[in-house]
Structure 1
C-alpha cells in the first residue's frame, strides 16, 4: 500500500511539473507567434503612419437656376435669362473634398500632396493621426505635375517621412500605399511595382514617367505616400485615372524633389528656358538628313538672346537626346525639359550635317520682357492695362489677328482677359507671367469678360 501511494505521488509530481512547463512556455509561444507576424510591411507602416495626414478642402460652387426652365422655354434663352436674372437666382453651395498627404519636414510643418486635392479650395484642414487639427496654407502648387506643398504651424516638431530613391526601383518589388481619407485612421494597401516610366493620358493631359502598381488608389488616398519595404518614400499616390481598376499610379519621388524645392522657394515651378522652338521630325525629313532612325525633334527657331544660341545651336539642328533620355517627339522634349530649372546644365545631343555632336547649355529663367511678343505668336493678340477709371481688373484686347484661334472662336477687341488657367490677370505684369508660365502648353483656359458677363473659353496656343 505505501508503495502504491509513493507511485501515485510520483505521477502527480511529474504531471504537475509538465503542466507548469506547459503554462510557463505558453506566453512565450504566443508572443513568438505575434513577433513572427511583424514582418517588414507591418514595421514600415508603424514607422510611417504618424507622418500620414488627412486633408479636407472646402470650396464653393455657384449654381444657376433658370426660373423659367419648367415652362418649356427654348434652352437658347438660358444665356439671356442668366444675364438678367443671375444675381437673384445664383445659388452658392459649399463642397468638401477629402484626400491624403505626408509630412516631409517636421520642423517647418511642410506637407506634400496632390494639387488636385486642394485646387480651388477656400479653406484647408489637416488632421494628424492623433486627431490634432490644423488650418493649412498653400506654400505652392503646380497642376502640370499635380503636386502641392502645404504648411501647418505646430508648437512642436512633427513626425516626418524619410525620403527614398525612385531611380533604382525594381519591377516586382513590394510597395506599400498609405492614405488617410477620413481623418480617423490610416488605410494600407500593398502590392508590387508593375511598371515604371508609365505615361497616362487623361482629361486631355499627359502625365509622364509614373510608377504603376497592381493596387487601386482610391480618391481619398490620393496624395498619400508610396513606400518601399524599408518605409522610405518613393512616390506620391495619385488617383487621376478614373478607368483604373486593380492598378494604381504614383509620382516618383525623385521627380517630385525638384518640384518641392521650387514650390517651397518660389511658390511655383520655375521652368528652364534655353531659347529654342522644336517640332516633330517626320520620316521624310529623317531620310533627307541621313538619320539611321526616325528619332529626335527639329529645331525651327533659336532666340538670339537665349543660352542655346550663345552655345552655337542653330535652326535645322536635330535634338536626338537630352542627357540619357531619348527624344522622339516634341512632347518628349517638353517633358524632359521640365526636369531642369534655372542654372541647370542641359546636355544636348545634336545631329548636324551628318554628324552627332554634344552641346552643354546652361538653362535660365524665361525673360519676362519677351512675353509680350510671344503672346502675339501664341494667342494672336496685343493687350493693354485697363484705364484707372475702370471698375474691372484685367487687360483689354486692343489688337487681334483675325486668323488666330482666339478670333475664330469669337473674341474681339475690347474684351477683357481676367484669368489665364490658374493665374488671375489684374494687369500687364500678370498677363506676361501667365504667358511665360504656360508658353509650352497646347491650350489654356481664359476667363474673358464682355460687358457684365464672363465666359470661360479654351484657347489653343499656336506654336508657329
Structure 2
C-alpha cells in the first residue's frame, strides 16, 4: 500500500481486516482529528489493484509505538484486501534471500515508483538506539519506509525503517516480532488510551512539520529522538532551520 499526505509519503502493508502496519515516522507529520484519530490529509492507495480499488482510502491511527518506529492504521472505507502472512516465531537466518516491496521516490521525489520490488540478503543483526534490527544487503530509498521484507518462505520477516547515508546497499528493518506485537496491541488498546495517543500525536505534528524548512524536492534528515525522519519534501514549508543532526550516518528511509 502507498501512503500519501500533504508533506510526504511512504509504504504500508495489510496485516488484517482493514489494518495496516507502517513506520511511526511515515505518519509523524500527518495531522489527525484528536477526537477520532482520522488523518486529515493522509490517504492509502493500492497501486497494484484494479482502477476501482486503487483508492484513495481514508485512514485513522489505531496504535503508535515511536520507540520501535511502528504504527498501525485502520482503513475507514470498506474494502477487502488480502493480508500478508507474518512469520511467527521467526529466527534470524544470516544470508537468507529477501524481497522488499515499496514505493520509493524517483528523481528526488518528483515521481514515485509504485509497488517496486527489490531483492537482497539478510546480513547481520545490529542495535539501533539499543534495539536489535536486521541489517539488509539491499537497496532501499526514500518511500520504502514501512514496507514489508519477505523471507524465502514468502512471509514477512521485517519492516523497512532505515538506510545508511554513506554506504551503498546497507539498510535496516524492524524484526517482524515487533510488528506482530504492535498489531496485537492495536487490537486490544482501550478507547481511553487511544484518545490520549491521538492527542499526543497531534501535539507533535506542528514541530515535525516546522523542521521541514526546505525547498520542494530537497532530501533532508530530521532527527528528534526517538524518531528520525528522511523526507523528499513535496512542498516548501515555513519555520526554523534544520537541526544539527542533519548529517547523522543512519537515516530513516521514509517518504517523499
Q: Give yes or no for TM over 0.5.
A: yes
1:214 to 1:54, Cα distance in 2 relative to 1, 3 A:
same
**CA distance in 2: counterparts of 1:216 and 1:186, whole angstroms:** 15
Query: In the alignment, does 2:80 pair up with 1:157?
Result: yes
* Equivalent residue for 2:19, pick from 107, 110, 115: 110
Where structure 2 has 5 or more consecutive residues not aligned to the other structure, the ranges are 32-40, 106-111, 194-198, 205-224, 227-256
**Does residue 180 of the first structure (1) align with residue 103 of the second (2)?**
yes
CA pair 145-161 structure 1, distance change in 2 beyond 3 A: same
What residue number does 2:127 align with?
A: 199
The answer for the alignment partner of 1:57 in structure 2 is 5
Greater helix proportion:
1
* Preserved contact between residue 44 and residue 58 of structure 2 (Cα < 8 Å): yes
Sort the Cα spacing of 1:424 and 1:127 in 2 relative to 1 into closer, same or farther, 3 A. Answer: closer
Equivalent pairs counted in the alignment come to: 180
Aligned counterpart for 1:239 among listed residues 152, 159, 162: 162
Deviation of 1:143 (Å): 1.0
Greater relative contact order, per chain length (Cα 8 Å cut-off, separation 6+): 2
Q: With structure 2 as the length reference, what TM-score do the two structures score? A: 0.63
Gaps of 5+ in 1: 1-52, 59-95, 201-205, 271-419, 426-442, 445-464
Cα distance in structure 2, aligned partners of 1:423 and 1:156: 27
* Pairing partner for 2:42 from 124, 139, 143: 124
> What SS does structure 2 have at the residue aligned with 1:221?
coil
CA distance in 1, matches of 2:166, 2:64: 25
- 1:245 Cα shift? 2.6
Q: How far is the alpha carbon of 1:228 from its aligned partner? A: 0.7
Distance 2:21 2:69 in 1: 11
When the two structures are superposed, what TM-score results if normalisation uses the length of structure 1? 0.36
The two structures, once aligned, show a CA RMSD in angstroms of 2.8
The answer to whether the 8 Å contact 2:163/2:171 transfers is: no
1:100 matched residue in structure 2: 11
Report the CA distance between 1:150 and its aligned residue. Answer: 0.8
Give the conservation status (yes or no) of the 8 Å contact 1:98–1:181.
Answer: no
Pair 265,120 (structure 1): closer, same or farther in 2 beyond 3 Å: farther
Task: Specify which of 140, 146, 154 is matched with residue 63 of structure 2.
Answer: 140
Deviation at 1:217, TM superposition (A): 1.8
Within the candidate set 153, 159, 183, 1:260 is matched to 183
Shift of residue 188 of structure 1? 1.1
Q: 1:423 to 1:187 in 2, by over 3 A?
A: closer
Query: Could you tell me which residue of structure 1 aligns to residue 174 of structure 2?
Result: 251
> Equivalent residue of 1:219, what SS?
coil
Return the index of the structure with the highest Cα Rg.
1
CA contact (8 A) 1:140 1:149 kept: yes
* Separation of aligned partners in 2, 1:423 and 1:134: 20
Partners of 2:71 and 2:190 lie apart in 1 by 9
Secondary structure of the 2:5 match is strand
Alpha-carbon distance change, 242 to 140 in structure 1, aligned in 2, over 3 angstroms = farther
Please say if residues 226 and 234 of structure 1, whose CA atoms lie closer than 8 Å, have aligned partners that are also in contact.
Answer: yes
The aligned counterpart of 2:217 is none
Per-residue deviation, residues 394-446 of structure 1 (Å, max 9, x unmatched): xxxxxxxxxxxxxxxxxxxxxxxxxx975859xxxxxxxxxxxxxxxxx89xx
**How much does 1:120 deviate?**
2.6
1:245-293 per-residue CA deviation (whole Å, 9 max, x = no partner) reads 311111011122122222332279x9xxxxxxxxxxxxxxxxxxxxxxx
For 2:37, the equivalent position in structure 1 comes to none
State the SS of the aligned residue for 1:258. Answer: helix
